[in-house]
Structure 1
Amino acid sequence: MGKIFISAGHGGFENGVRDTGATVQGTTEAQEMIKVRDLVVPELRSRGFEVLSVPDDLSLAQSIAWINGRARTDDVALEIHSSEFGNSAARGASVYYITNNDARRTHAELLLLALLRRVPQLPNRGVKPDTAAGVGRLAFCRQVAPPSLLIELGYLTNPDDLKLLQGRRREVALGLADGLAAWSRAVSGQSPTAPGSQSDLPEVSISINGGAYDEKAIIVQNNAYVPIDLADRLGVDLTEQPNIRRIRYRNVVYIKAIDLRDFNVSVGWDSTTRTVLLRSLSKLRICPGLMDRIMGPGNTSEVQLIMFLKSNHEGALQLFPEIAKLYRDEGAIEGVDHDIAFCQMCVETGFLRFGGDIKATQNNFAGIGAVGGGSAGASFPSARIGVRAHIQHLKAYASIEPLVQELVDPRFNFVTRGVAPLVGQLSGRWAADPQYGQKILATLRRLYESASIL
């Protein structure tokens, strides 16, 4: 039986500052997760499992390195978190797994169901690929060598979830112990080959832009790895990407195929022919170098925007049935990419769930502040005017061209025109979050994948 690694999310030092995670009602995410972890570890040990607890003072990168330095065949690794959201009604548990890995999805379902059997009052938010996370990838799911998952044990910002987490901590820990035990047994039963081992690994075919590739991909821990030479062929420079996990097998360096997705390469899988499907950006409908440029035409139709929005929030169109049309119309008038603007709206409002200081009735889809710094943000008389203000604010940042329509954005004249033509340059400007632009681009990739554009 392999080892079980457990990491309590947050608590370590990131860039020299203690990362406590969410802070709610006199407690922190780090404190709550450590308390749960400290109950899970002895419970599993009492059942005969070897469990290693990741030190709490390590950064995320250090935690991953700590696990990888000790991992062997048949090990599993779990990081436990809780969530927070401006809308206190949001609640429930979910588990994230590395995208495109059916085995890991099954493991995630096993873990989540075990937790909910012990704590049935906790709503089930389902298992999710890590591409559904805010930044479009989770390092713990991607870079940890053994099979790994990340679980979110409810929302600290929801009173009911917080009460369950604190009042039924023992049951939560027992549920996690049940799930980890079942997962560890399942992985040990599969007897996967450890990353880097020279034993024979399963091989699968590779297709690039519709054509067969001469070399094969390999399967490691149910993930497809492709020769790193493919990155150059696809126009991706990985020399300055230390976070891309590499393994050496039979004197060839391989990388996880799914990691190419972060460089705008479409990554798919044909289960019938057991083939990894790769498409470079130059073969898609988006010109290379323009995907993150705010000024320009969008690529999606109104129907595609609607379907994407509904897939992430079923009731999103009840209050704003024409939201997709409005973004296409207003973006086209000012020359702003409606796909980028729409995805920014999804990030800002939680796919029109709103919450926090800004209410749906304000028609403020981009968190635009009121003149004078009012805490509630700006308000607009209609959804169309709210979308128009958003588009104008984006144009203020991304272009020096004059507006086509009458000014409705109250903060347009406070922006240094043209200072942020790229999405990533909105980070620290539009929002204080240093990953703000990355979250918009991650949502944009999901939109394009849902529309079969990427």
Structure 2
Amino acid sequence: MGRIFISAGHGGIEQGSRDPGAIAGGTTEAQEMILLRDLVVPELRSRGFEVLSVPDELSSRETINWINARARAGDVAVEIHAGASANPNVRGASVFYIATNAERKKDAELVLLALLRRLPQLPNQGAKPDTATGFGSLSFARDTILPSLQIEVGYLTNPEERFLIQNRRRDLALGIADGLAAWSRGSSGNGQTNGSDTTYASINIRINNQNYGEQGIIINGNAYIPVDLADRLGVDLTNAPNVRRVQYRGVVYVKAIELRDFNISVGWDASTRTVILRSILQICPGYLDRIMGHGNTSEVQLMMFLKANNENALAQFPDLPKLYREEAAIEGVNYDVAFCQAMVETNFLRFDSSLRPSQNNFGGLGDVAGSPDAASFPSARIGVRSQIQLLKGYASLEPLVLEVVAPRFRFVTRGIAPLVDQLSGRWSADLQYGTRVLAVIRRLYESANLL
């Protein structure tokens, strides 16, 4: 039976200072997760498991390196987090796994159900692929050699769940221990190690419906492909140090899911043991992230994507996809970009932040009248138009077609941000803002079979 690595999310040194994680109710995520971890570890040891607790002072990157340096076949790794939202009503527990890994999804479901059995008061937010996170990936799931999961035990920003985290800590620990024990016992032990005697199973590769002549391998349930294939797809990995490379029997392999960040869709056909790569759009540099241009999805595809991420989203704004396509076309803005930006700002029309549905403000636009609230608009169409106009202001020197309705349009330096990533630190103080928007665009194109 393998060992279990456990890390408490946050608490380490990031950029020269200690990272507290979420802060709410007079406590921090780091503090609460360390206390929880310190109950899980002795509980698992009392059941006969060998457990390695990751040192708290390590950064997130150092945590992954620490685990990888000690990894053995059969080991598993987990990091414990709490959720956070600007909306205190958001709540629920979830477990994240690396996307396209069916084996890891089952592990995530197993761990989550064990937790909820001990604490049924927690709403079940489900086992989720790491592509469903704000940045479109999780380093702990992607870069850890071992089979790994990231647990969110509840929302620290929700008063009821904060009470459970602080006052039902023992039950949380028992639930996590139950899930990790079951996962560790059932682990297949085919993990990548630092040794050279491991044998990996072969898999088939299909690119745009054509079988590829060379095979890939499976490591910890993840598909790895020859690095030469990345070159053929036009993906330059020379400046991607975080993409893990594995040398096996004289061939260098990379994890297939990493190509997703280079606009390659990655899927899996379990019946034929085939990793499926798709690059239908033949995207050239600047295509996906250019604000001015034409969208590629249909109104129905936008509606289906929105409903898949929030089944109640269209109840109040049934015409929103149509509005984005119409308003963006008038000004020459890529409506896919504008729509996905709105999904980031409103969390798929859940309005978890300070925005309210009645404001018709889907882009998080500020006011210029000194109001502490964000701008409000008389209709959904005008709200969409305002966002489109501001995007055009940032991305283009061309004049607006319609009368200005965006409150801050005159303050924007025209044409300073033609690419989505250049909105980071401008549209939002978040320096990863563009990355978050691009992550949603990729999810949209994958759902529409365009990527």
For normalisation by structure 1, the TM-score amounts to: 0.97
Q: Hey, what does 2:91 align to over in structure 1?
A: 91
CA distance in 1, matches of 2:61, 2:191: 24
**Aligned counterparts of 2:370 and 2:29: Cα–Cα separation in 1:** 30
| In structure 2, C-alpha distance between the alignment counterparts of 1:193 and 1:167, rounded to whole Å | 36
Tell me by how many angstroms 1:22 deviates. 0.8
Deviation at residue 206 of structure 1 after TM alignment:
1.3
Aligned counterpart in structure 2 of residue 332 of structure 1, from 329, 332, 336: 329
Residues in 2 aligned to 1:242 and 1:139: alpha-carbon distance in whole angstroms: 13
Per the TM alignment, residue 285 of structure 1 is displaced from its structure 2 partner at its CA by 6.6
Q: Which amino acid aligns with 2:407?
A: P
Q: What is the letter of the counterpart of residue 50 of structure 1?
A: E
- Following TM superposition, by how much is the alpha carbon of 1:156 offset from its aligned partner in structure 2, in angstroms? 1.0
1:59-102 Cα distance to aligned partner (Å, 9 max, x none): 11100000000110110000011111122111000000001111
- SS of the equivalent of 2:402 reads coil
Q: Is the 8 A contact 1:198 1:250 kept in 2?
A: no
Unaligned runs of 5+ in 2: none
Note if contact 2:286-2:419 (Cα within 8 Å) is conserved in structure 1.
Answer: no
Q: Give the equivalent residue in structure 2 for 1:43.
A: 43
In structure 2, how many angstroms separate the alpha carbons of the residues matched to 1:339 and 1:253?
36
Map 1:265-304 to 2 at 5 A. 265-280=264-279, 283-284=280-281, 286=283, 288-304=285-301
Q: Relative to structure 1, is the Cα distance of residues 373 and 37 closer, same or farther in structure 2, using a 3 angstrom cutoff?
A: farther
**TM-score normalised over the length of structure 2:** 0.98
Q: What is the CA–CA distance in structure 2 between the aligned matches of 1:313 and 1:323, rounded to whole Å?
A: 14
Structure 2 match to 1:362: 359
Question: 1:223: which partner in 2?
Answer: 222
- For these two proteins, the number of residue pairs brought into alignment is 450
In structure 2, the partner of 1:205 is 204
Secondary structure of 1:37's aligned partner: helix
Structure 2 Cα separation of the partners of residues 357 and 97 of structure 1: 29
Q: How far, CA to CA, are the matches of 1:223 and 1:397 in structure 2?
A: 40
Alignment of 1:8-27 (within 5 A): 8-27=8-27
Q: Distance in 2 between matches of 1:102 and 1:143?
A: 18
Q: Could you list the per-position Cα deviations for residues 140-192 of structure 1 after superposition, in whole angstroms to 9, with x for gaps in the alignment? A: 001101100001111111111111111101000000010010010010xx231
Q: Secondary structure at the match of 2:70?
A: coil
SS in structure 1 of the partner of residue 441 of structure 2: helix
Rate the CA distance shift 1:163–1:180 in 2: closer, same or farther, 3 A.
same
Identity of aligned residues (%): 65
2:122 — aligned with what? 122
- Give, in angstroms, the shift of residue 279 of structure 1: 2.3
Counterpart Cα distance in 2 of 1:54 and 1:195: 18
Counterpart-to-counterpart distance in 2, 1:266 and 1:450: 10
Report 1:99-114 matches (<5 A): 99-114=99-114
Looking at structure 1, the residues matched to 357 and 88 of structure 2 have their Cα atoms a distance apart, in angstroms, of: 15
Amino acid at match of 2:185: R
Partner of 1:140: 140
3-state SS, counterpart of residue 69 of structure 1: helix
The yes-or-no answer on 1:6 pairing with 2:6 is: yes
- The corresponding residue for 1:239 is 238
Q: Is the 8 A contact 1:4 1:76 kept in 2?
A: yes
C-alpha distance in structure 2 between counterparts of 1:291 and 1:368, whole Å = 23
Correspondence 1:192 to 2:214: no
Deviation of 1:355 (Å): 3.1
Across the aligned residues of Structure 1 and Structure 2, the Cα RMSD in angstroms comes to 1.2
Q: Deviations over 1:270-317 (max 9, x none)?
A: 22322212223xx42755531100000000111111111111111111
One-letter amino acid of the counterpart of residue 355, structure 1:
D
1:419 deviation in Å?
A: 0.5
CA-CA distance at 1:193 after TM superposition: 4.7
Match of 1:388 in 2: 385
Does structure 2 retain, via aligned residues, the 8 Å contact 1:114–1:179?
yes
8 Å Cα contact 1:86-1:354 kept in structure 2? no
- The alpha-carbon distance between structure 1 residues 71 and 203, as it changes in their structure 2 partners (threshold 3 A), is same
Separation of aligned partners in 1, 2:191 and 2:175: 28
| Separation in structure 2 between the aligned mates of residue 270 and residue 48 of structure 1, nearest angstrom | 37
* Paired residue secondary structure (2:350): coil
Unpaired runs of 5+ in structure 1? none
Deviation string 1:76-135 (CA, Å, 9 cap, x unpaired) is 000011111122111000000001111100000010000000000000000000000110
- The one-letter code of the counterpart of 1:335 is G
2:445 partner SS? helix
The 5-angstrom pairing of residues 163-182 of structure 1 reads: 163-182=163-182
- Cα displacement (A) at 1:373: 4.4
Q: Distance in 2 between matches of 1:439 and 1:363?
A: 22
Work out whether residues 71 and 193 of structure 2, in 8 Å CA contact, stay in contact via their aligned partners in 1. Answer: no
